[in-house]
Chain A
Amino acid sequence: MATLKELAKKPEYFTNGHRGCAGCGAAIVARHVLMATDGNVVVANATGCLEVFSTIFPFTAWNVPFIHNAFENAAATISGVEACYQSLKAQKRYDKEVKFIAFGGDGGTYDIGLQALSGAMERGHDMLYVCYDNGAYMNTGIQRSSATPKGANTTTAPAGKVEQGKTQKRKDFTAILVAHHIPYVAQAVVGDWADLTRKVEKALSIKGPTFINVFQPCRLGWGYEPSRTIEMGRLAKETCFWPVFEVENGVYKLNYNPKDRKKPITEFLKPQSRFKHLFKEENKPLLEEIQKDVDQEWQRMLKICEAT
């Protein structure tokens, strides 16, 4: 794996001048993912924050070939690009080595893009799909998605007088991808560049469909100071809210285990204004319930890692 000094010598494949918020986590995901490549990639991107802020005509932040088609079809689109590549290669009309990466937010991946992603994974295209999961439809103005955590205040599941934000648990999307029996699935978090770039390198070295779910703090949607994006990712990991692991051919491997230094979930929730209402006295039971959910999921994760 490359050191930072080596990485800094490479061209930037995701450039500055994009219109992401100050402290945008999605931009960091795009940059770190491409940093792990040699630039010989084609990127497809679902409609969403990342695509919108990086491709405002006539300026594009993508310094690699890039296509945006629509919201729900990044996986299908890149599968078409890859199919064309395979066809031209087989016909000996193209001789370059190219990798294929699709990016989608949690809305474009967990929700509206699930079908296209599932189809592409099942068909076995040689591609990496990266979900940047910030837990809501941030581009349209912070609406709840199936990735939004329980208790979060969003514009379509707001904290009000009788409801305390989203009432449901978030969906374990990574498990759905594991169920596709693809060769490589991983979870990572914004900020741990060494872990993420290693995972991207690994995914791209494997022939076939691979998936990385990157947890991405969003300063606007979560309501924290822009300087804390990396810290928020770290807290998600240290509270075990977002386990960092990889699944290679069905075998789970935990990449981070705080053991007895596991932090209480409140440390992750407290700096975010979307969870502010949870800290009212009357919401104490809800906060306890959220901690219980995290503990249960973590125990389950430990058991799965042991069993596989």
Chain B
Amino acid sequence: MVDKNLTVAKTGNEAMAEAMRQINPDVVAAYPITPATEIAQIFAGFVADGLVHTEFVRVESEHSAMSAAVGAAAAGGRCMTATSSQGLMLMSEILPIASALRLPIVMPEVNRTIAGPINIHCDHSDTMFVRDSGWMQVYCEDAQEAYDSVLMGIKIAEKAMLPMMVSTDGFIISHCMARVDLIPDEDVTKYLGQYKPETWLLNPDKKITLGGLDLQDYYFEHKMVAIDAMYKSKAIIKECCEEFAGKFGRNYDFFESYEMDDAETAILAMGSVCGTAKVAVDNLRKDGKKVGLVRMRVFRPFPAEELAKTLSNLKTLAIMDRSDAMSAGEAPLAIETKAALYGRKKQPKTHNYVFGLGGRDIKVEEIEDVYKEMLDFTQPEKNFDRKVTYLGVRE
């Protein structure tokens, strides 16, 4: 199945831009922001060379990028944008509007922390800030997954009638060259088909009003529709992952289980750190330690039951967050995972680590230390009361 000509070296941004070329959206509206700038930049080259039929709207801000994306998607087109950090924050007002209007906009999002202080490097504070905006969220480990997830994202979004952000860790994935196996253009075109929405503004046969005012008598009902769609999107994701695996041979799921079959201790994390954690797992396994890794891909919809089932046989679990929830007790991934585990007969003792804020590097040894600490946690005299360990911050 793998064609040698289609095996290329690409950065995460290049891979996602390549996916966008193959998707050939009707409209792209984008604005520069580090580290996502390249995506729009590379795509602009495709437009300039006539490689896509996309109407490229060079907006004057991310707010307008998302606003124009909403307009274009509501009009009936397949529409994309890309952003990071402050750009996502500026878009944040419009994100829940896109999901409430059930617009399947797909947006590569390159994770970068949020100011202040201003910093251009990776953590997940930006996407966590908008985690309840009604957008599906997929966190990728590498350029290959980013490429595949953007392609699959179109399919999932259009079936679920919900927008999706596909995120990659800023610079770590976005700017690092890696091997990517591409899918031939014609196969992508065939796989995605043409977008045919049922409700669209330009429809000459049915005039509609979109985005009207709800008072107390209808807001809750409309919100319920979006909430329900988010729950239902789980089955769609599952089905699309299976279809993608069948067609293109690469397997994805809500999360990836690595060495989990007999694991007693595991780390749960998202993004590029998981590549490093896999090395740590391999090292510790050589010493006979029963450790594993669960790498979350799909954070929204949150696969609570599936995740709890996978984690419940563990003795201990370290949940590693690349963002903080500012005194919530624990950070977002930990909070939601523990809520999923709560009330189950069997559940591991957990501990939350926050690491890597503002692009702070994390090394294999540090992750090994986390495993060792969690292996020790199986001893009953250990203290579990500590709330969050902040890894790698100077005191």
Chain A residues in the interface with B (C-beta under 8 A): 42, 44, 51-52, 55-58, 60, 62-70, 72-73, 76-88, 90-91, 94, 96, 98, 115-116, 118-120, 122-123
Contacts and interface: CB of A to CB of B under 8 A. Distances in A.
Nearest to A125: B57
A42 B218 contact: no
A67 B201 CA distance: 8
A35 B332 CA distance: 53
A80 B78 CA distance: 11
Contact of B211 (A69, A82, A120): A69
A37 to B, nearest CB: 13
Nearest to A78: B71
B337 to A, nearest CB: 33
Contact of A77 (B27, B61, B68, B77): B68
Interface residues of B, number: 43
Nearest to A47: B213
Contacts of B70: 69, 77, 80
Nearest to B56: A83
Interface string B204-221: 100111111111001000
Contacts of A52: 213
Please list the 4 inter-chain residue pairs (A to B) with the smallest Cβ-Cβ separation, ordered nearest first. A80-B71, A119-B60, A80-B68, A55-B212
A119 B64 contact: yes
A32 to B, nearest CB: 20
Contacts of A90: 53, 55
26 contacts: A44-B71, A51-B213, A57-B212, A65-B201, A65-B207, A65-B208, A68-B211, A70-B93, A76-B63, A76-B64, A79-B64, A80-B27, A80-B57, A81-B71, A83-B29, A84-B55, A84-B71, A84-B77, A84-B79, A85-B75, A85-B202, A86-B55, A87-B26, A88-B202, A96-B202, A96-B204
Interface string B67-98: 11111111111010000000000000110010
A79 B58 contact: no
A82 B207 CA distance: 16
Contacts, number: 157
Contacts of B59: 76, 79, 119, 123
B67 A73 contact: yes
Nearest to A80: B71
Contacts of A94: 202
A24 to B, nearest CB: 16
B64 A116 contact: yes
Contacts of A51: 213
B272 interface: no
B64 A73 contact: yes
B54 interface: yes
Contact of B69 (A56, A80, A118): A80
B207 A64 contact: yes
